[in-house]
Amino acid sequence: GDISYAWEIINAYVPLMQEMLKQDPYIVIKLRSTFLKLASMMEIPLVRITQANSPDLVSVSNYYSGELVKFVRRVLEIIPISMFELLKELIHLQTNEIRELPTRLPKAELKDYAQLEERYRLARYTHQISKFTEGILAMETTLMGVVSVDPKQLLEDGIRKELVRQLASSLNQMLVFRSSRVDEFETACSS
């Protein structure tokens, strides 16, 4: 069936799709079929252009394919965001809650240093991060109109974008100066 009417209403479903992805990263395989169905939205405008023998067929195809790829990226951007949230929890756990093991440890204190609950959370966070990666990589390379979408590249781009956002946010919080003196800048950088 034709789904060309969905160009306007599909954006309302992005938060729902992202919430589903956050809860179950393997849902991306099912979303792939949705993305393929959305590719049919391009058929109607392209059929009309082909019937008119217009030389704009390639540029219009590229435009609609680009719009579809932007939509796919917007839906899937929740995966790197969720990964970084889990990484933040993982880092907090490793730096603040899990104690380092001494080189020598009396047998009686072994249970205290085991920290089973903390290590379980560490393993759970690590597993959740790997599930997000597996989920997006399970989506095969897909042709969205005239543009090929590689899930590995989508993941890399998303991680890069989220890393830049995280770094910019951290620098914005850390590098706040009360005055414009150079010594204050050097002090802030060294701390």
What's the pTM value of the predicted model, to 2 decimals? Answer: 0.78
- In whole angstroms, what is the distance from residue 118 CA to residue 115 CA? 6
CB 151 within 8 A of CB 136: yes
Nearest Cα to 150, choosing from 39, 43, 76?
Answer: 76
Stretch among 5-9, 12-16, 138-142 having the lowest mean pLDDT: 5-9
| Res 52: pLDDT | 86
| Res 1: pLDDT | 53
Stretch among 17-21, 41-45, 57-61, 88-92 having the lowest mean pLDDT: 41-45
When pLDDT is averaged across residues 140-152 and rounded to a whole number, the result is 84
Q: Quick one: how far is CA 78 from the chain centroid?
A: 4
What tens digit of pLDDT does each residue of 53-111 get? 888 888 888 888 888 899 999 999 999 999 999 999 999 999 998 888 888 888 888 88
**Between 167 and 177, where is the model more confident?**
167
